[in-house]
Amino acid sequence: MDYKALLYLVVSLICFAGLEQTYAAGTNNWTGKLLVVPLDGSHWTGLKAVAEEMGRRGHTVIVVMPEISMRMGPGKHYITKMFPVPYSRDFFNKMMAESSHHVTTSEDSLLMSVVSKVNQMKKMFEFVASTAESLLKNQELIDFLREQKFDAVLTDPVLPIGPILAYNLSVPVVNMLRGMPCGLDPRVISCPSPPSYVPRFHTRNIDRMTFGQRVVNMLVTMLEVPLCKIVYGLFEEIQSNFIQRDVSLMEILSSAAVWLMRYDFTLDFPKPMMPNMVLIGGINCDIRNPLTKQ
Ligand SMILES: *[C@@H]1O[C@H](CO)[C@@H](O)[C@H](O)[C@H]1NC(C)=O
């Protein structure tokens, strides 16, 4: 081996060792601060798993949750910050029982069914809004969260309390979701979602549509914008009371850094993606166990 080749070898070995060292430091020693703003019910399951794992890996994880909830509670590897809410456990239980009653029973006529569903939805929204306001108007808690200087906020944006809070704290947002009602997610991500190809909810269409099916898909798509106004109008109000500057909810939602999508193309129809969208459908799967031998 000549002298030059040997020199190259030594230099590249040193460089490689150096690289490896910084890489190791990056993976083992760096720890950050994560704020988790979860939603209740099934939305909590995935977020809790991530919060626990991030805490287990040495990051400081703080989860804020209402004092009264269905499923949310403390964990082994994260810090829990509870905030008081203006309703009692009894009211909460009654509300949940009513709402499941409405889901499982059907009224005599279509009109009655629509009226009762709308009423129920309104009640639910008012309830969600009072929970959101209990958090955003809790100045002591907000000040505490601001002092923590978080690196990121992990949240479920379906009810956009987390994104509103993160915007106010000026912390980047990581959203984790299955999808937003009224097809809002592709719109705020600026992700193409052509109605000729991406099937809309409740149409029973697939990604290959006949002309007639495309027309129906197109009409449903046109309903999305007004539907979003109804669903998210309330949050628009909460947000403008809290943020007190000229910014819309859509702008807040579209400023998210990363979108972790809880679906997978083995189960969902393929559709366009943006570079800041990551498919994490497998997170819903149970840990694999060997089959029992019969
Ligand atoms: C955060 O909210 C407070 C009011 O609670 C407001 O005064 C402040 O301007 C907000 N900051 C940002 C960055 O939106």
Q: How far is the CA of 168 from the centre of ligand 1 (A)?
A: 5
Which one of 134, 244, 246, 247 would you pick to mutate in the ligand 1 pocket, going by the greatest count of ligand atoms within 8 A of its CB? 244
Structure-block tokens of residue 151: 């690196």
Structure-block tokens of residue 168: 């106010």
Q: How far is the CA of 169 from the centre of ligand 1 (A)?
A: 8
Residue nearest atom 5 in ligand 1 by C-alpha distance:
242
Shortest-distance atom of ligand 1 to CA 142 = 5
Q: Which residue has the tokens 């629509």?
A: 114
Structure-block tokens of residue 138: 């809790």
Structure-block tokens of residue 208: 């290959």
Return d(Cα 241, Cα 231) in angstroms, integer.
Answer: 18
User: What per-residue confidence (pLDDT) applies to 174?
Assistant: 98
| Single-letter code of the amino acid located at 194 | P
Return d(Cα 130, Cα 217) in angstroms, integer.
Answer: 35
User: What per-residue confidence (pLDDT) applies to 230?
Assistant: 84
Q: Reduce the secondary structure of 148-185 to three states and give it as a string.
A: CCCCEEEECCCCCHHHHHHHHHCCCEEEEECCCHHHHH
Q: How far is the CA of 237 from the centre of ligand 1 (A)?
A: 15
User: What per-residue confidence (pLDDT) applies to 109?
Assistant: 74
- Name residues whose C-beta falls within 8 Å of residue 61's C-beta, 6 or more positions apart in sequence: 33, 34, 36, 51, 54, 55, 77, 78, 79
| Per-run averaged pLDDT (10 residues), the chain, 294 residues | 59 53 57 96 91 96 96 95 95 88 72 78 84 95 97 96 96 96 93 94 90 95 90 88 90 97 91 96 80 78
CB 207, CB 199: distance < 8 Å: yes
User: What per-residue confidence (pLDDT) applies to 24?
Assistant: 46
Q: How far is the CA of 242 from the centre of ligand 1 (A)?
A: 7
Distances (CA, A) of 98 to 7, 72, 92, 187, 264: 77, 20, 10, 33, 33
Residue nearest atom 3 in ligand 1 by C-alpha distance:
243
- Name residues whose C-beta falls within 8 Å of residue 159's C-beta, 6 or more positions apart in sequence: 39, 128, 132, 235
> Cα Rg for the chain, rounded, in angstroms?
24
- pLDDT tens for 31-69 read 999 999 999 988 998 899 999 999 999 999 999 999 999
Average pLDDT, the chain: 87
Return d(Cα 187, Cα 87) in angstroms, integer.
Answer: 35
CB 46, CB 284: distance < 8 Å: yes
User: What per-residue confidence (pLDDT) applies to 122?
Assistant: 79
Which one of 135, 141, 161, 168 would you pick to mutate in the ligand 1 pocket, going by the greatest count of ligand atoms within 8 A of its CB? 168
User: What per-residue confidence (pLDDT) applies to 21?
Assistant: 46
Residue 214: phi and psi, rounded to 5, are: -65, -35
Q: Which residue has the tokens 């939603």?
A: 39
Residue nearest atom 13 in ligand 1 by C-alpha distance:
168
Query: Reading across the β-sheet that carries 79-83, which strands appear in turn?
Result: 79-83, 60-66, 33-37, 152-155, 173-177, 258-261, 277-279
Return d(Cα 177, Cα 160) in angstroms, integer.
Answer: 11
